Structure formats: C-alpha cells, structure tokens
Amino acid sequence: MFTLIIREIEDNRVFFIAAVLLAVVFGVLFVYEQFYGEKYESVIIPFGFAISIPMAMAFCAMGATQMYWDKTKKISALLATLAVNRGQIFTARVIAGFLLVLIGFIPIAGAIISAVSKLNVSFLPHHGLYYEILIPSLLLGFACYCIGLQAGWTSNRVTAILGALGLNVILIPVIIIKGFGLEIYAILIFLIAACLIRAWYKFSTAAF
Amino acid sequence: MSEYVIQTENLVKYFDGRRVLDGIDLKVPEGCIYGLLGRNGAGKTTIIRILLGLEPATRGRAVVLGASSWQLPVSVLGQIGYVAEGHNLIPNYNVSRVADLYRNLSANWNEQFFRRLMETFKLPVERKVSQLSRGMRAQLNLSLAMATEPKLLILDDPTLGLDTVARRQFLELAVELISRDGRTILFSSHILSDVERLADRIGILRAGKLVVDCELEELKKRARKLRLIFDGQPPRELPITEIMAETRQGREIILTVANWNESKQTILNVFKPASCTEIPMTLEELFIECTSSGADAAVDYEQGEPICSR
C-alpha cells in the first residue's frame, strides 16, 4: 500500500509541490503572526480566501488527472497484474488525494482562522470557529477532489475537464450562498460519499 | 486445488453485441506449456485478459490457481507473471522506476535473477520506457515478469513486432526459463514456429471457439492429410465425418480429416482408391486447415466438440 501511495504522490508531484509551497508561505505568515506579533490579517484573509477557489479547482484537477492518466496510460492495467488488487489501487489513490488536501489546506485554514480570530468580529462565534469553518472547508477541498476522481475516469479529456468543472461550479456557489455552518456538513459528506461510490464502481467494474 | 492451473467453463464474452468468445472450455494442467493460437480477432487476448481479471466475462467461469479470475486474491496475483501484447509498461517511467514498482509490489521478487537478466540484455536503466525499442521493451517485460518467480507465466504474443534477432534472443531466454522449476506457461502467438518449438499442448481458437485443444503430437497424429487417386471418376461425396478441407482435381482428391481413426479408414477403403498417400503436415498447415472456412464442417458445434480434444 505504501508503494502505491508513494507512486501516486510521485506521479502527481506538481500538485504536491504547489501545495507544499503554498503551505510554507501561509505557515510562515501564521508563525510570524502568532509568535512575533506581526499583523498580516490584511494579507492573509483576502489572499487566503482568494486562493481557496483555485485550490479547490486544483484538488479537483488532481483527482481527474489521477483517473485520466490511469485510463490513458493503462497504469492500473499494469498494477493489477502484480500482487495488488483494485481496492488497494483505489484506496492508495484516495489517500494520496486526501494527503494533498491536508497539505494544501491546513496551513491556509490555520492562518485564516488565526487572522480572523484576531479581528474580534462579533458575528463570528469564536469558540465554534474551528468546527464551523475549518472542517467544512476541509470537506469542501476533499469533495472537490472526489468530484475530479469520479469525472476523470474517461479517455476523453474534454469530458473529464467539463464534468469536473461543471460539478465544482455547482458546489462552490452552494457553499458561498449557504455559508459555512453545520448544515453544510451533511451536503458535503453526502457528496463525498456519492462521488467515491461512483468512482469506485466505475473503477472496480472497468476493463483495464 | 484442482490439477489444472487454468480452467474455464463455457466462457462467453460479448463486445458491443458481438460474440468474441463462444463457450470456451479451456484446461491447462500444471507444468504444461500451452500455446494458444488463432487468427487476429479470434479471442486470444480476450481469454488472457479474462484470466488475469482485467476484463469481466459475460458468462461462464474462469478459475486461475484455484480462484475466480474476476476476483483474484493478492496471494494468487503474486503467483502470476504476465507479459502483455505490445509490452504495455508505463511509458513515462524510466526502467529503474518500473523495476522498483515490480520489486515493491511482487510477492516473490528475485533481485539476483533480475540483475542477471538486465546485464544479459544490457538495458539502460535510466531511459524512459517510451524511449526503448520494441525489442528492449519485450526484454524488459519478460525480465520483470520472470523476476517475480511466477508459478504461472502468461505471455500474450510476446514476440509480436520483434525482429528476427530480438525474437531469437527472446525465445532462447524463454526456453531457458521454461526449463526451470517446471512452471506452467500459457502463451499466445501468431508465429507458429515459436509455438511448435515451445509448446507441449496447443489450443486453436477460431471465431471465438476452441476448435483444437490437445497435445501437439496428438494433433499431428490425429489430423490426416491424404492424397487419394482413383482409377476412374472419384466419388461425388465421401461419407466421412470431420472433413476439415477437401480439394478435387480430376481423379485426385486431397482430403484433410480431423480425428482420424480406423472406422474412417474402413469407410475410405470401401471406395477403393488406386492410391492413398499421407501428406505430412506442419503446424502451420494444420493451423491453416483448422482456421479456414472448411474447418466448420469438422466442428460439431451442437456438441461443442473440438477437432482434437483430450
């Protein structure tokens, strides 16, 4: 399993390098703000929110790329003839995707929450900030990844891109309109489950 | 476990409404080198892909090393080596990365043996798979498949597209490897001389049906090609069953008959041919006879009996 996860990360290293770079930038801002008393709210908050949509798209692109390259380069057709089954290939892929979401997301979310909490804005329930923003944001990133994963299993690049973009274009406004909150948990969890089940069904029944 | 490493029962596969496999009953005993022959589109690759779990069968059952082929457990997959038609390794990986993948994902990787093969073939480890010649890819694929120490080795037209020298090298290695450990090998090929050299049992596919499934020597023994010359006009019809091919010219009939036996000889004697000579057949001739349209008559499709079976 470890080999399969490493293979996924190496094959999609562009996404991981970009995520790590972003994480480092936000991590540094976060550390400076927390421990050196610097005031970067005016940078972190707009930049953090501005980068979140391209990041969601990047997570989606990662999922779509994993599946699209697998199908066109017949990667699983090779792996499945070794001592590995389809379940392990798929699980390793999803774990790699989740790792990307964590690497890309946690430092940014941490920096934004830290910055927002310092603003002392009354309409934000401070004690529930983590649960109401951090977790739904993490789920949103993973949901975008899962959308890409299920849309990417096609040999038609246009279908993969349009399918993934289409679903993201629906999902992201839902979050913007509905706002962060506990209600969004159910929507995102349902969407993640549906995408993963659909992607697994396509992958497990496909002829490699 | 059954005495058969591979066993299929009434295997049927449809592609877009077209029947590609039509009730295949294939049995490959342990330690056997089985050559699967057939023309393009006869269903050779489809059978292999079903056996490896890469393709689901529409109907029927395929069992490999005691497990259902569609859900082969990891323990069974680890005992199968596979060399794909066209040597489909991941094209953007370099040789060492593909080798690492095999090394880490194989149940019984033999590093020493792999290094020996790499040295024999002088394969450039840093070069990308896509930059290797077809011959090099074939050598790499065989080296990787062999280094996994498989109990069952499946080769899908491994010499396709190789030049004579590369083919010879490949076959020499295959012969050496086959003589090790008595492993079971299933291989498909278009090159009949390769099959004749390696296989001890053959199956011939024709339009999705297994029309021959027996030992090579048995096939040669049981299929007869006869030149019959009659004193006068030859009989309009010979009441012999399983005629695979028949050509007539004047007083001469050239007849190819499957499952030759004494009763067929007796029937033939009734017509008192002036001479009856047996024409020796190569595997190539047998293959052509078995896959030609005349072979229809030799196959009892109702009974599903092949021209030559165990």
* pLDDT tens digits, one per residue of B251-310: 899 888 888 888 888 888 888 888 888 888 877 777 777 776 555 544 443 344 555 555
When pLDDT is averaged across residues B208-223 and rounded to a whole number, the result is 80
What's the angle, vertex CA B98, arms to CA B93 and CA B102, rounded to 5?
Answer: 155
CB A81 to CB B84 under 8 A? yes
pLDDT confidence of residue B293 = 57
Closest CB from B49, B75, B90 relative to A78:
B90
Tokens 């007849």 belong to residue: B255
In whole angstroms, what is the distance from residue A175 CA to residue A181 CA? 9
3-state percent helix, strand, coil for chain B, nearest multiple of 5: 35, 30, 35
Residue A122: phi, psi to the nearest 5? Answer: -70, -30
pLDDT confidence of residue A95 = 95
Tokens 């049927």 belong to residue: B12
> Is residue B1 pLDDT above 60, yes or no?
no
Instruction: Say how many CA atoms lie within 13 Å of A157 toward its Cβ.
Output: 4
| For the ranges A33-42, A91-100, B12-21, B176-185, the one whose mean pLDDT is highest | A91-100
> Is residue B163 pLDDT above 70, yes or no?
yes
pLDDT confidence of residue B220 = 76
CB B72 to CB A85 under 8 A? yes
Contact at 8 Å (CB) between B84 and B112?
no
Whether B270 has its CB under 8 Å from any CB of chain A: the answer is no
What is residue A98's three-state secondary structure? helix
Q: Report residues of chain A scoring pLDDT below 70.
A: 37-42, 118-131, 155, 181
Whether B88 has its CB under 8 Å from any CB of chain A: the answer is yes
Judging contacts by C-beta atoms under 8 Å, the chain A residues touching residue B105 are: 3-4, 79, 82-84
pLDDT confidence of residue B122 = 82
pLDDT confidence of residue B195 = 82
* B33-88 per-position pLDDT tens digit: 898 888 888 888 899 999 999 989 899 999 999 899 888 899 899 889 898 877 77
**By C-alpha distance, which of B44, B239, B90, B200 is closest to A10?**
B90
Contact at 8 Å (CB) between B94 and B127?
yes
> Is residue B168 pLDDT above 70, yes or no?
yes
In which element (H, E) is residue B93 found? none
pLDDT confidence of residue A40 = 66
Q: How far is A199 from chain B (nearest CA, A)?
A: 17
Residue A21: exposed, middle, or buried by beta-carbon count in 10 A (0-12, 13-18, 19+)?
exposed
Q: How far is A176 from chain B (nearest CA, A)?
A: 40
When pLDDT is averaged across residues B99-122 and rounded to a whole number, the result is 87
* B225-267 per-position pLDDT tens digit: 889 998 888 888 888 887 877 888 888 998 888 888 888 888 8
CB A82 to CB B92 under 8 A? no
Q: How far is B271 from chain A (nearest CA, A)?
A: 55
In whole angstroms, what is the distance from residue B33 CA to residue A192 CA? 48
Judging contacts by C-beta atoms under 8 Å, the chain B residues touching residue A68 are: none
B235 DSSP assignment: P
Whether B16 has its CB under 8 Å from any CB of chain A: the answer is no
DSSP per-residue codes, A177-208: HH-SSTHHHHHHHHHHHHHHHHHHHHHHHS--
Q: Exposure string (b/e) for B146-167, b if CB count within 10 Å is 16 or more? A: bbbbbbbbbbbbbbbebeeebb
**By C-alpha distance, which of B152, B77, B140, B76 is closest to B114?**
B140
B37: which strand partners?
Answer: B204
CB B74 to CB A84 under 8 A? yes
pLDDT confidence of residue B304 = 44
**Ranges in chain B annotated CATH 3.40.50.300:** 4-216
Whether A73 has its CB under 8 Å from any CB of chain B: the answer is yes
B252: which strand partners?
Answer: B229, B249
A128, two tokens: 């529930």
In which element (H, E) is residue B214 found? strand B209-215
Q: Based on C-alpha coordinates, what's the Rg of chain A?
A: 18
Q: How far is B40 from chain A (nearest CA, A)?
A: 20
CB B54 to CB A207 under 8 A? yes
In which element (H, E) is residue B174 found? helix B164-178
Judging contacts by C-beta atoms under 8 Å, the chain B residues touching residue A7 are: 101
Chain A CA closest to residue B106: A83
Contact at 8 Å (CB) between B53 and B70?
yes
CB B80 to CB A81 under 8 A? yes
> Is residue B27 pLDDT above 80, yes or no?
yes
Q: What architecture is domain B4-216? A: 3-Layer(aba) Sandwich (3.40)
Chain A CA closest to residue B73: A85
Chain B CA closest to residue A73: B90
In whole angstroms, what is the distance from residue A24 CA to residue A38 CA? 17
A197, two tokens: 């089940």
B229, two tokens: 């010359």
Whether A178 has its CB under 8 Å from any CB of chain B: the answer is no
CB A73 to CB B92 under 8 A? yes
Judging contacts by C-beta atoms under 8 Å, the chain B residues touching residue A87 are: none
pLDDT confidence of residue B196 = 80
Count of Cβ atoms closer than 10 Å to residue B172 Cβ: 10
**What's the whole-number average pLDDT of chain B?**
82
pLDDT confidence of residue B214 = 82
The residue among B15, B55, B77, B110 with the most chain A CBs within 10 A of its CB, best to mutate, is B77
Give the pLDDT band (50/70/90) at residue B138: confident
CB A81 to CB B106 under 8 A? no
